[in-house]
Structure 1
């Protein structure tokens, strides 16, 4: 069982570390083929990748924020993430075939 931290943002890496969370592997971009059942993935992923991770039997924790419009598109540091009420929320995502 591997804990993955998936982000390209230094502020997110620092924020997760400040929460006392340890991870085994860091990736700026995730290849879902590397994920196996029992793994944990932490990040802010597109819904299709989150669904594939869950389909592989892994847990997905989204790094969620209350991000005001004036901060969108900016690189955020750990203090700003805290001010934006950053939190890890577990999601179970499933693609519905139509």
Structure 2
């Protein structure tokens, strides 16, 4: 079971809103909207994606990583390393 299973519907709602924002960006470009207005919407969409990613990461740490560390051993080490790599990717993006 995934760490986000209990909040799956909330995540799907957020992703649908983000998808709507991306489609809105496409419409803005199609309609030749002002560059700064488009960039403002890009920033809002980026922030929404980052917020989603952080929420998912928090659930992963609280569920998957915490469960693995309780068991200990190589699985725990692998989960911690995997989470650290995911955090590094988020920081770089």
What TM-score range do you get, normalising by the shorter chain?
under 0.3
More strand by share: 1
More helix by share: 2
Q: Normalized against structure 1, the TM-score is what? A: 0.21
